[in-house]
Structure 1
Amino acid sequence: MIKINNINFQEIKQKLQVKKPWDDVIIFVLNILIAIPLFIILHQNLINPNWFLNIDRVILFIVMIVVIQIILRLLRKFIIPCIIVYLLVLGYGSTIGNYGFNNVYDDYNSMMYSMSYNPYPQDIIIAKLLPFPNKSKIINAIEYQNPKVRNFAVMATSKYFKDLKGYSEYRTIIQCFAVFKEINGRWNYVSDPKAGDYIATATESLLYFSGDCDDHSILMAACVRAIGGTPRLIHTKGHIYPEILIGSHADLEKVNFLIKNILFPNESRDKKLFYHVDERGQIWMNLDYTARYPGGPFLSEEILGALTLD
């Protein structure tokens, strides 16, 4: 009985083996297929020291390839079961789990695009900020619960990017970018009266899409918040502009890919994204009226105050 079982095991073992040189080819291909999603996961969760030409990431990928290659060579006799396990894991992630074939493809594109077109970080973390000018008036003017503001924002989301498939995780940010596109495409700069600052409410600015920087910021913040986004206003010397909360550095990679490759490819071609990092490591992206795409260049970089609308 034992001899029969041994024979059967040997037969099964031989059937699962791949003859040379195809076993080396399959091992190499399987190595790459395993290394890419694993590298993406590590890349998103490890601190990025921002070495020149992403040398740290290159070294990480090479080390992974070597380690995986050694492991697969040790499992050479069971290469077919390894392939089946790999396909089952990704198949499960695609149908039932949270990470499958589409996620690997999207994350890979985002990572490579970010490495090729690095955003421009403004890692300005200020311990003490000055009081925000006209704070109470501005907060009252951001009428995000007003039906007119909400309806305008909803209209913008129906006008732009509505047919974009996938990226459900970033749907709110994409819709806020639609609001940005609509407002900035119509905005007409008009100075305040000489007597002093005139703070227009969001509904007031909806009439003619005209006003100065604080009027634009109020309208943008109100519309972004009306559809679930998190805006804040930045005060610099003689200027106020709005920003939107993007999230983590991993989120920035995906948003960078979306802006430059899908949403605003013409406006952002060969240009960098500008953003700030707050004390909690969260990314805030510029939505100023001077920008032709989200994350456009700052008009003024010296931050004097910040007003966050939670």
Structure 2
Amino acid sequence: MNIKNISFQDIKQKLQVKKPWDDVIIFVLNILIAIPLFLIAHQNLIELPWAYNIDRILLFVGLVVVIQFILRLLRTIIIICILVYVCILIYGTVFGNYGFNSVYEDYDSMIYTMSDNPFPQDIIISKLLPFPNKSKILNAIEYKNPKVRNFAIMATTKNFKDIKGYSDYRTIVQCFAVFKEINNRWNYVNDPKDGDYIATASESLDYFSGDCDDHSILMAASVRAIGGTPRLIHTKGHIYPEILIGTMNDLETVNYLIKNVLFVKESYGKQLHYHIDERDQVWLNLDYTAHYPGGPFLSEEILGALTLN
């Protein structure tokens, strides 16, 4: 019995980090744990109408204090806590759940949220809220299907083929050609009453008909098939596609193209509608309700995003 006790104490002492490094490690581990917990709480708790988001500041401080207290209780086995945390992140990274990259993105999102951001609706934390029918939608975006690829190529030969002088934006112009072809032909049809019907991109090409998720799937697949970067935005009761434009400088060029070259009549006297993500990347609206890329949003409140890199 004494031998067991002695060996346990020896192991415990070997695992214990000496001062002041234990406090440093506890603080760092606290922040790494507090960030994702704060973002989850922030997304799911009701916001109070307090000035300067004081309720969220108090929430974050409260989480830090509680986690700090728990970690101090586990001070003697802090190395084990670190190993457990790292193992969880490795597992999440390998199997596509919450991993190292997610921690970085959450930290970046939190800083972006706390900053003087003129587009608060642009904060996308898609992993915190499930994207509806995510696996079915991903499978339905058949951008490698020959039928989808051939349609996208056809659209680029039919629309804006003779536009010259914008070689750096050729892919975007071609994606706008796809947008024009789909939206000119799209016929909105509701799903069956007893549930969602997710049509594949190749299936929607038969009649260019369906609801918002069918349109988004076809648009995303066609844009991706010719080199564009699309994403789907989930709002309350609606899904719509967007395309990655790039920086604000790119947006200026694209704005000129849309208003003066490609969609002159459709966009006359109107503004472009877009979102800016936490990396300062510009995403332009491609919804079926829009008559030109960057047309008005049908719904503003963003609940999640599904990006096809």
Please say whether Structure 1 and Structure 2 have the same fold, judged by a TM-score greater than 0.5: yes
The residue that corresponds to 1:284 in the other structure is: 283
The residue that corresponds to 2:121 in the other structure is: 124
Instruction: Report the alpha carbon displacement of residue 131 of structure 1 after superposing the two structures with TM.
Output: 1.2
Give the Cα separation in 1 of the matches to 2:124 and 2:239.
Answer: 19
- The AA in structure 2 aligned to 1:125 is D
TM-score, structure 1 normalization? 0.60
Deviation track 1:148-168 (CA, whole Å, cap 9, x = no partner) reads 000000000000110111100
The equivalences for 1:172-187 within 5 A come to 172-187=171-186
Structure 1 contact 233–243 (Cα < 8 Å) conserved = yes
Give the Cα separation in 2 of the matches to 1:123 and 1:167.
Answer: 32
The residue that corresponds to 1:297 in the other structure is: 296
The equivalences for 1:8-19 within 5 A come to none
Structure 2 contact 175–228 (Cα < 8 Å) conserved = yes
The residue that corresponds to 1:233 in the other structure is: 232
Give the Cα separation in 1 of the matches to 2:226 and 2:125.
Answer: 31
Instruction: Report the alpha carbon displacement of residue 126 of structure 1 after superposing the two structures with TM.
Output: 2.1
Instruction: Report the alpha carbon displacement of residue 125 of structure 1 after superposing the two structures with TM.
Output: 3.3
Deviation track 1:68-111 (CA, whole Å, cap 9, x = no partner) reads xxxxxxxxxxxxxxxxxxxxxxxxxxxxxxxxxxxxxxxxxxxx
3-state SS, counterpart of residue 133 of structure 1: coil
Structure 1 contact 273–295 (Cα < 8 Å) conserved = yes
List alignment gaps of at least 5 residues for structure 1: 1-120
Instruction: Report the alpha carbon displacement of residue 204 of structure 1 after superposing the two structures with TM.
Output: 0.4
Deviation track 1:37-94 (CA, whole Å, cap 9, x = no partner) reads xxxxxxxxxxxxxxxxxxxxxxxxxxxxxxxxxxxxxxxxxxxxxxxxxxxxxxxxxx
Instruction: Report the alpha carbon displacement of residue 194 of structure 1 after superposing the two structures with TM.
Output: 0.4
3-state SS, counterpart of residue 121 of structure 2: coil
Structure 1 contact 122–274 (Cα < 8 Å) conserved = no
Give the Cα separation in 1 of the matches to 2:130 and 2:253.
Answer: 34
Give the Cα separation in 2 of the matches to 1:272 and 1:177.
Answer: 16
Across the aligned residues of Structure 1 and Structure 2, the Cα RMSD in angstroms comes to 1.1
Alpha-carbon spacing, 1:299–1:127, altered in 2? closer, same or farther (3 Å) = closer
Structure 2 contact 245–284 (Cα < 8 Å) conserved = yes
Larger radius of gyration, structure 1 or 2? 1
3-state SS, counterpart of residue 152 of structure 2: helix
List alignment gaps of at least 5 residues for structure 2: 1-117
The residue that corresponds to 1:141 in the other structure is: 140
Q: How many residues get paired?
A: 190
The residue that corresponds to 2:204 in the other structure is: 205
The equivalences for 1:1-310 within 5 A come to 122=119, 124-126=121-123, 128-129=125-126, 130-310=129-309
Greater RCO (CA < 8 Å, at least 6 residues apart): 1
